Amino acid sequence: MLTKRIIPCLDIKDGRTVKGTNFVDLRDAGDPVELGAFYAQQGADELVFLDITATVEKRKTLSELVKRIARQINIPFTVGGGVSSIDDASVLLKNGADKVSINTAAYKNPQLIKELANEFGSQFVVLAIDTKQEADGECYVYLNGGRTKTETKCFDWAKKAVDLGAGEILLTSMNHDGTKQGFAIDITKRLSESLAVPVIASGGGGTMEHFATIFKQGKADAALAASIFHFKELAIPDLKRYLHDQQIEVRI
Amino acid sequence: MKTVIIKYNAGNIQSVLYALERIGVNALVTADHEEIITADKVIFPGVGEANSAMSSLKENNLDQIIKSLKQPVLGICVGMQLLCKYSEENDTECLGVFDEPVKKFVSDSFKIPQIGWNTLYDLKSPLMKGVAENSYCYFVHSYYVPMNEHAIATTDYVQPYASAIHKNNFYGVQFHAEKSAQVGEKILKNFIELI
C-alpha cells in the first residue's frame, strides 16, 4: 500500500541550514547535506530544502549545494526558494533535484507551471501555497513568504495550478505555522479530497497525534515539519512507529 | 567492468549516476552506440513522457541498439515501460522486448499519478536477491505494466501490477531504484553484480 510521507524541511541561507539545531551527533549541524543525510537515515521519506538566500551569488551557491545533496542523499528531495523561470529550474534539475517548489513566481505568472510541467513533467513541479483563514472564514493565498495578501481563495488557486500541471501541492497554513497546535485540518481535507494530486500539509505539527490527525481526518498524503525535527522534539523513528500503531501506513 | 547509462532526452539521469557512485560504480553517460554495445551493464533510465522519449531514442537509432543488446540491461521507470510493446501514453509503439502493454491507472478513489513509497512482494530473480518481501521503494507514475509471466515483483495500486520484470538479459523496475534508500541501492548493486 502507498504510504503517508514524513518530510523534514530545511531552511538554507548562503548554503547553510538556518535555525540552529541541537543535534549533538552531527559533526556540523549547520551543513544541510549532513543534516539531510541524517534524516534520510532516520527514515524521512523525502526532504525539502528551502533556499532563503537573497544575494546575486545565489544561483551558483544553490546549484553547488543541490549537487552535493544529490550525490549523498538516497531519497527524493525538493528544492524551493526563488525559482521563477525554466532556467532556474533547469539548473536545479541538472544538478540532481527531483522536484522544484514554486510559490510567488507561479502566482504572478501561472504559465510558469505549465511551462515547467511540459518541459520536465508534472512530477517535477510542486506548487507551494501559503494560506491564511480570515475572519470571513475563507482561506486566502498569501505571497512573498506570507507578507502580501491576495484576494484569491486558496482552493481556487490550487485547482487552477493542478489544471496547469502542478504535480503536488505543498499547503502551509499561516494560522497554524509555528504554533505546534496541530495542522490545518479543514483546508487540507478540502484540497486533498478535491484535487487529483497529493497534498503535503505544513504548519502546526507539534505532536505525534497531530500527524495522525492530519493523515486520518485531514486526508493529507504527506506532512512536513521543520523545527520539531531540528530540535529533536520529535524523532522520526518514534513518529513512524506511532503512526504505524495507529494503523496509518508508513515506511518503517 | 564498464557500466553505461543511456543518454537521451528523458530527465533525471544525474540521479542514477549519483546513486551508482554511492555504491562505488563509476558509470559513463553516453549515447554512443559503440560504448553502449561494448558495456558490461547498461542502464536505461527515464522520467517523463513515453512518446517523446521514444522519438528521442529513434532520432539517435538507439531503439535498434537497445533491442539488440546481449548484456544485462536495466530499464528504470519510463525506461522499463519503453522496453514493453506498447504504451497507452499518447499511443506509443515501444521497443517490444517484453510483449506486454503499458496501461494508464484508472480509478475514482486513487490519486493518479501514484507518488510515494509502496511495497514490493512476490520477489523473484537475482535482481531481488537479499531484498525482503514487502520492502518499500519510491514510485512516481501514471502508467503501469499489468501482471504477466515476467513479473519479478508485484505492487498494489488501484490493482496489483508488475513493478519489476525480467526476461533473458532484460530487467525493468517501475520504481526509482536510485531514490529508494537502501533497498534501491541493494537492487542496483544486484544488477551490477549480475553475470
The region that residue B32 occupies, defined by phi over 0 for left and psi between -120 and 50 for alpha, beta otherwise, is beta
Residues from chain B contacting residue A1 (CB–CB below 8 Å)? 118-119, 156
Rounded CA-CA distance A238/A117 in Å is 36
Q: Looking at domain A83-245, does it have CATH number 3.20.20.70? A: yes
Q: Nearest residue on chain B to A71, judged by CA atoms?
A: B18
Nearest CB to A120 within list B11, B118, B179: B11
Residue B150 belongs to what domain range? 3-193
Nearest CB to A251 within list B136, B176, B184: B136
Q: Is A154 helix (H, G, I), strand (E, B) or coil?
A: helix
Q: What pLDDT is recorded for position B124?
A: 96
Rounded CA-CA distance A128/A166 in Å is 10
Q: What pLDDT is recorded for position A227?
A: 86
Residues from chain A contacting residue B181 (CB–CB below 8 Å)? 40, 74-75
CA B183 to chain centre: 15
**Beta carbons of A96 and B114 less than 8 Å apart:** no
SS (H, E, C) A169-191: EEEEECCCCCCCCCCCHHHHHHH
Number of domains in chain B: 1
Could you tell me the CATH number of the domain that includes residue B52? 3.40.50.880
Q: What is the mean pLDDT of chain A?
A: 92
Residue B61 CB-density burial (10 A; 0-12 exposed, 13-18 middle, 19+ buried): exposed
C-alpha grid cell for residue B27? 558509470
Q: Nearest residue on chain A to B141, judged by CA atoms?
A: A123
Q: What is the pLDDT of residues B76-126, one digit of tens each?
A: 999 999 999 999 999 999 999 999 999 999 999 999 999 999 999 999 999
Rounded CA-CA distance A117/A113 in Å is 6
Residue A17 CB-density burial (10 A; 0-12 exposed, 13-18 middle, 19+ buried): buried
Neighbour count for residue B129 (Cβ, 10 Å): 14
Q: What pLDDT is recorded for position A118?
A: 86
DSSP state for residue A34 in the 8-state scheme: H
Q: What is the ipTM of this complex?
A: 0.93
**Residue of A123, A125, A126, A219 to mutate for B, most B C-beta atoms under 10 A:** A123
Q: What is the mean pLDDT of chain B?
A: 95
- In chain A, where the domains are located: 83-245
Q: What is the pLDDT of residues A109-118, one digit of tens each?
A: 999 999 999 8
- Give B146's contacts (C-beta < 8 A, 6+ positions apart): B100, B101, B103, B161, B162
Q: What are phi and psi of A210, to 5 degrees?
A: -60, -40
Rounded CA-CA distance A88/A13 in Å is 17
In A, residues 105-164, which contact B (CB 8 Å cutoff)?
120-124
In Å, how far is B123's CA from the nearest CA of chain A?
16
